Structure 1
Amino acid sequence: MKEKKDSEQNVISFPGSADRLSTQGLEELKKGNKEKAVNFFSEALQHDSFHEEASYGLLLGLAETGRLTEGIRLAEQLMDGNNSNYFEVLQVYVSLLAQAGEYQKVVTILEGVQEEHRFPAKMAEQLFELLELSRTMAETSIEPEPEEDRPDRDWSVELKSGGAEYKLSILQEMKGYPFSSVVPDVETLLTDPEITPLLKSMLLFLLKDIHTDREVEITKLERTGTFIPSSLPPLEDSSVYIETKGLLRDVLAHEEPVLLEHSLELLKELLLYYYPFPPSMPVNGLAAVIHAEAAGRIGYPSKTDDTAAHYDISEKTFCDVKQEYDTLKPNISHI
C-alpha cells in the first residue's frame, strides 16, 4: 500500500515497529490465523518496505490464503532484489505459478536456476518433482473462456443519483455482474470528488468481496493511496480498532458494558468512514471522544476532565479531538 498526503508519508515509523509487527505476524501464522498474519506483515512493510522477514512472511501468508496473483507479484519483486531468502522465495514462487497453471513459466525458471545453481539439498527433491510435473502439464494447453460482454449500465451515473437505499441496492446488483464490467467504473468512482467517503469505503468492500487483487487508487479526505482490495483487512482487524477497543474495554468493560457496546459501534462507524486510511486522531484521544459521544447518545453522564483522565490525555487534547470529530459527524453516515 502506498499513501501520500500533502506530499508526506502518513505512516510514522518508530524504532522496532517493523520487527514487532513482523514477529506478531509470524505468531499468528503459526496459530493458523492467516488473515491476521497478512495484516501484520503488510503493516510492518509500511514501516520498513525492505524488511526481509516481513516480506517473506507476507509471501507465505498470501500463499496460505490462496491469493495467487498477489503472491506471484510479491515473489517476483523479492526475486529481483538482493534477498537472502532467495531459494525459500523461489520455492513459494514456483509453487504459486503451478497453482495458477503457469507450468511453462515454472519450467523456464527452474531450468534457468539449475544452470547457475544447485538446488539446496533440503528442497531439491520437491523442486525436481515440480519441474517434472510442470514439463508434463506444459504440454496441455487450455483455451481461456470468452469474456462476457459488458452490460449496458453506467454504474457511475447510477451511484450518483437516488438516496441511500437506492445506492445500497445498486451496490448489491453490482456483485452479480462480471468483474470486467464493474471494476473500471468503481476505479473511476474511487477518485471522484463527488462520491462521499462512506460510499467509497463501500465500493472498496465490493472490490474486496469479488477478490480484486490488483492495485486501485482511492482519494478521500484529502488523502490519496493505492491499495489491493483483496488484501485489505476487515475493520475489526485493523491496528487502530484493536488498540482503541482495548482502551475502551479497560475503562468500560466491568463498570459499563452497555456503554462499551455503543462505543464500539461508533468506533466502527468512524473507521468505516475513513477506510482504508487510519483516522488522523491519536488513539487515546479517539477512545476518549468515542466514549464521551456514546455516553451522550444514550444519556449517560460524563465530564470532560474525568473522561480525559481515564485515557491519560489532557483536556486540551480531548477538546481538539472532539472538535475534529464534531466536524466530521454530520457526514459520517452520508452515502
Structure 2
Amino acid sequence: MKKDPKEQDKVIPFPQLELRLLNKGRNCLEEGNVSEAIEYLEEAKRIDDENADILYTLTIAYVQQGNFTKAKQILEEMMRFGIGEYFDVVELYVTVLFQLHEYKKINTLLTMLLDEEQIPSHKVEQYTELLQLSEKLAKEMKIKQQRNPKDLFKGDFQRVIQNIMELDLEDIHTYLQEIERFLQNELEDPFIKTIIINALKEKGFEHEIQVNKFGKPINLNPAQYFSVQAVPFSLEVKQYIKEALSDDNPSLLENAITLCENFFFAIYPLEKEFQNPLQWALAIISITASYFSQNLEEIEFIKEYSDQLSTDQIEEAKAFVQMVEAQFIK
C-alpha cells in the first residue's frame, strides 16, 4: 500500500486534509449519505492509505452500501500490511466473508488462528463457534450446489432473491448458463436482474455478460462496473433533482427522488450508455410535477436549464421513464 515517493512529491495536501475528509465522511455516514461518505473517505485514503481510522471507516461505509467485495479488499490490505487493531479487522473481515458466503475462506482463517493460538483467551469460544457455524454452512452450500440449476429461479420473488444472495463465486460458475439465460430473456423480472448483476459484482465475477432490459441489450463485466448504489450517472441525475427542488419544493423533491431511485434501480446497468444526466433529471422532475399538477414554469431550475435540451429529448426520456415506471405497479 505504500505510495511511490515520486508520486507523493507531486501532491502537497492541506495540513491534516485527510482528517477533515475523514470527519466529513463520518458525518455523512451518520446522516445516511453513504455514497457521499465514500467519496470523502476514498479521497482521504488517497492522501494517507495507511491510516487505520480512514480504512476502517471506509470499510464500514462499503458494508452499509452493500459492496462487500470492496470492503473485503480493504480489510485484506489492512491484514496484509498490519494496519489497525488486528482482531478488530479480523472480526469485521469474518463478518464480510459471511455476507459473501465465502465459508471455505472463513474455515481456513479461523482454523489457522485457533491452531496457532493467536486468539485472545476470552475470544476462543466465540471463534470456535464461528468455525463450527462456517463448517455447517459450507456443507449446506455444497449440498445446494448439487441441485438442478433451473431451481435457482423457482419460487416467488423473495425465494429467488434469497437463492441469488446465497450464491458464492463457485456457485455462480456452476449456474452460469442458467443465470445468463435469465439475464438475456426480455420477459424476466428487471428488478431480479439488477440484484443478479449486483451480486455478480460483489462476488468478484470477472467475465462479460449480456443483459436485456426494456428492449435494450447491453454487455458489461460486472466486476469492472459500479454497484447499483454507486453509479456516477444516476447520482448526478439525483444531484440535479436536488438542486432543482430542495429549496422551493421539498415534497416534490421527495417524490422525484423516489421515482429517480426506482427508475435507475430497474434499468441498471442500461445507464452505462446514457449521455446527458440533465435530460433524465428534467424528465423525472416533469413526470413528478404532473402528478401534483405543478406548473413547471414556476420551477426556477427548469427555466434555467430547459433551453439546453430540445422538447423532443425531454419527451423521449419521459416516455422511457414512464414505460419503466409501469413495472413498479405491476
Amino acid at match of 2:268: Y
When residues 130 and 172 of structure 1 are mapped into structure 2, their CA distance, relative to the original with a 3 A threshold, is same
For the 8 Å contact 2:202–2:223, the answer to whether it is kept is no
TM-score, normalised relative to structure 1 = 0.54
Matched, 1:313 2:305: yes
Counterpart-to-counterpart distance in 1, 2:197 and 2:77: 24
Identify which of 124, 131, 135 aligns with 1:133: 124
When residues 28 and 110 of structure 1 are mapped into structure 2, their CA distance, relative to the original with a 3 A threshold, is farther
Counterpart-to-counterpart distance in 2, 1:233 and 1:191: 19
Give the paired residue count: 273
When residues 330 and 24 of structure 1 are mapped into structure 2, their CA distance, relative to the original with a 3 A threshold, is same
For the 8 Å contact 2:283–2:318, the answer to whether it is kept is no
In the other structure, the counterpart of 1:153 is 150
For the 8 Å contact 1:79–1:89, the answer to whether it is kept is no
Counterpart-to-counterpart distance in 1, 2:271 and 2:77: 27
In the other structure, the counterpart of 1:322 is 314
Matched, 1:94 2:90: yes
When residues 321 and 250 of structure 1 are mapped into structure 2, their CA distance, relative to the original with a 3 A threshold, is farther
CA shift at 1:63, angstroms? 6.8
Query: 1:246 is paired with a residue of what secondary structure?
Result: helix
CA shift at 1:214, angstroms? 1.4
TM-score, normalised relative to structure 2 = 0.54
Correspondences of 1:1-335 after superposition (within 5 Å): 24-29=24-29, 31=30, 36-37=33-34, 39-40=35-36, 42-43=38-39, 52=49, 55-61=55-61, 71-80=71-80, 86-88=82-84, 90-96=86-92, 100=106, 102-106=109-113, 129=120, 133=124, 137=128, 143-144=135-136, 145-146=139-140, 147-148=143-144, 149-151=146-148, 153=150, 170-175=156-161, 177=163, 179-180=166-167, 184=175, 187-189=179-181, 192=184, 194-195=185-186, 199-205=189-195, 213-216=202-205, 219=210, 222=218, 224-226=220-222, 233=229, 239-240=235-236, 243-250=239-246, 252-253=248-249, 257=251, 259-260=252-253, 263-275=256-268, 280=274, 282-296=276-290, 299-303=293-297, 309-310=301-302, 312-313=304-305, 315-317=307-309, 319=311, 321-322=313-314, 324-326=316-318, 328-329=320-321, 331-333=323-325
Larger RCO of the pair (alpha carbons < 8 Å, separation 6+): 1
When residues 314 and 322 of structure 1 are mapped into structure 2, their CA distance, relative to the original with a 3 A threshold, is closer
In the other structure, the counterpart of 1:119 is none
For the 8 Å contact 2:284–2:318, the answer to whether it is kept is no
Counterpart-to-counterpart distance in 2, 1:43 and 1:75: 18
CA shift at 1:92, angstroms? 3.6
When residues 281 and 264 of structure 1 are mapped into structure 2, their CA distance, relative to the original with a 3 A threshold, is farther
Counterpart-to-counterpart distance in 2, 1:246 and 1:24: 20
Query: 2:220 is paired with a residue of what secondary structure?
Result: strand
Amino acid at match of 2:147: R
CA shift at 1:266, angstroms? 3.5
Identity of aligned residues (%): 13
Q: Which runs of 5+ in 2 are unaligned?
A: 1-12, 96-105
Backbone CA RMSD of aligned residues: 5.5
Task: Write 1 or 2 for the structure with the bigger share of helix.
Answer: 2
When residues 227 and 274 of structure 1 are mapped into structure 2, their CA distance, relative to the original with a 3 A threshold, is farther
For the 8 Å contact 1:285–1:311, the answer to whether it is kept is no
When residues 327 and 133 of structure 1 are mapped into structure 2, their CA distance, relative to the original with a 3 A threshold, is same
For the 8 Å contact 2:244–2:302, the answer to whether it is kept is no
Q: Which runs of 5+ in 1 are unaligned?
A: 1-14, 112-127, 159-168
For the 8 Å contact 1:215–1:227, the answer to whether it is kept is yes
CA shift at 1:50, angstroms? 5.2
When residues 226 and 285 of structure 1 are mapped into structure 2, their CA distance, relative to the original with a 3 A threshold, is same
For the 8 Å contact 1:28–1:36, the answer to whether it is kept is yes
CA shift at 1:88, angstroms? 0.9
Counterpart-to-counterpart distance in 2, 1:109 and 1:213: 31
Q: Is 219-228 or 310-319 further displaced after alignment?
A: 219-228
When residues 187 and 98 of structure 1 are mapped into structure 2, their CA distance, relative to the original with a 3 A threshold, is same
